Amino acid sequence: MIFVGLDIGGTNIKAALVEIQSATEQSPDFSTVSILEKITVPTRASGGPASVTAQIHNAIEEMLHSAPNRVHAVGIGVPGSVDHERGIVLYPPNLPGWKDVALARILSAKWELPFYLDNDANCAAVGEALFGAGRGCSNFITLTLGTGIGSGIILNGGIYRGARGYAGEFGHITIDPNGPRCNCGNNGCVEAYVGNSYMTARAKQAVKHHPDSVLYELLSNDNAGFTPEDIAEAAEAGDEFAREFLYTTGEILGIAVASAANLLDITDFVIGGGIAGAGEPLLDGILRSGRDRVLEVHRDALRVVAAGLGNDAGMSGAAASAAVEPFKTLR
């Protein structure tokens, strides 16, 4: 079956024609996903809902043109909270002027197709559940590291959205009540250590004592253009400081991982996003600190793995989200 998956970001809209094959049409036990074609168009966020919606229409039109009359449904990942049932974008922090926009209804008026919206972190979790690192696992949490921490919670084989659709704010678990100020207004949220800008600030501070690191020059002066992916790249190239820094960042995440494991009896964590690509030092740090802190009953079960869907996770997750919609659970 063919779906269109859209990943709406603050800067770009990515759209793909996604083929999802299932063992049978009667179960959500999907077997493979492949991206047949994809495009990127600018979001034009500053123009408000009208200009962004026009860009969404363009992207959909192009995808439908490539597979006339073959698309089953369209899945859309939105950066922020959505009313999934009613297809309404509630209040996306990076899309100025959007508040309670009935996007599914707007799109349905033009295209005779089912449209399904979900928070992009939930789409990523569904994608990982069906095709990625969460396959075969009925309870897990995905963390997508970037500007903030996107997080999707799979409970009892289904996405857990919470009563009002706001569930999954793993990034706003407090790990130190006197820690640095977070942009949410609280102090010491995980995000205030691991969100992109906070991580850059921490790296800038930490690198001062490591003139031998390839990051020293990059960070010591003006760090415009610097992103945490630079740390990941340096780590992959063997830079000791970068590896150590990612390990420490993992240890910070591990504090909240242990708390979530204890609260929810969840022991599987799937880590994606920019710096997760560097893999091992970050994942090792999470696992070490998570194991040290979690209740004994979870210690051996704790599993921290890299996301399996890579760069196209947003689009294939959105398509997966549309594909599972007819089923009550993911498996």
Question: Which positions from 81 through 110 interact with a second copy, judged by CB under 8 A?
Answer: 81
Count CB neighbours of 17 within 10 A.
24
Stretch that binds a second copy, among 22-30, 108-116, 198-206, 261-269 (CB under 8 A): 261-269
Closest CB to a second copy among residues 172, 243: 172
- 136 sits near a second copy (criterion: CB under 8 A): no
The whole-angstrom separation of Cα 10 and Cα 4 is 19
Helix (H) or strand (E) holding 47: none
Nearest of 162, 142, 186 to residue 90 by alpha carbon: 162
**Contact flag: residue 270 with a second copy (CB under 8 A):** no
Among 68, 136, 185, 238, binds a second copy (CB under 8 A): 185
Position 266 contacts a second copy (CB under 8 A): yes
Examine residue 248 and tell whether it contacts a second copy (CB under 8 A).
no
Binding-site member from 24, 26, 296, 328 for a second copy (CB under 8 A): 296
Each residue 143-182 as x (binds a second copy by CB under 8 A) or -, in order, gives ----------x-x----xxxxxxxxxxx-xxxxxxx----
Percent helix / strand / coil, the chain, rounded to 5? 45, 25, 35
Phi and psi angles of residue 226, each rounded to the nearest 5 degrees, phi first: -75, 135
Q: Which stretch binds a second copy (CB under 8 A): 24-32, 199-207, 221-229, 292-300?
A: 292-300
Query: Which residues are CB-neighbours of 223 under 8 A, at least 6 positions away?
Result: 200, 204
**In what side-by-side order are the strands of the sheet with 12-22?**
30-42, 12-22, 2-8, 71-78, 115-119
Q: Is 138 in the site for a second copy (CB under 8 A)?
A: yes
Strands of 140-145's sheet, edge to edge? 158-159, 149-155, 140-145, 268-273, 303-306
Q: Output 3 or 170, the one with its CB closest to a second copy.
A: 170
Query: Does residue 139 touch a second copy according to CB under 8 A?
Result: yes
End-to-end CA distance of the chain: 17
Q: How crowded is residue 155: how many other Cβ atoms within 10 Å of its Cβ? A: 16
To the nearest whole angstrom, how small is the minimum distance from the Cβ of residue 294 to a second copy? 8
Q: Which stretch binds a second copy (CB under 8 A): 19-27, 32-40, 208-216, 264-272?
A: 264-272
* Chain residues in the site for a second copy (CB under 8 A): 81, 138-139, 153, 155, 160-170, 172-178, 184-187, 255-256, 258-260, 262-266, 292-298
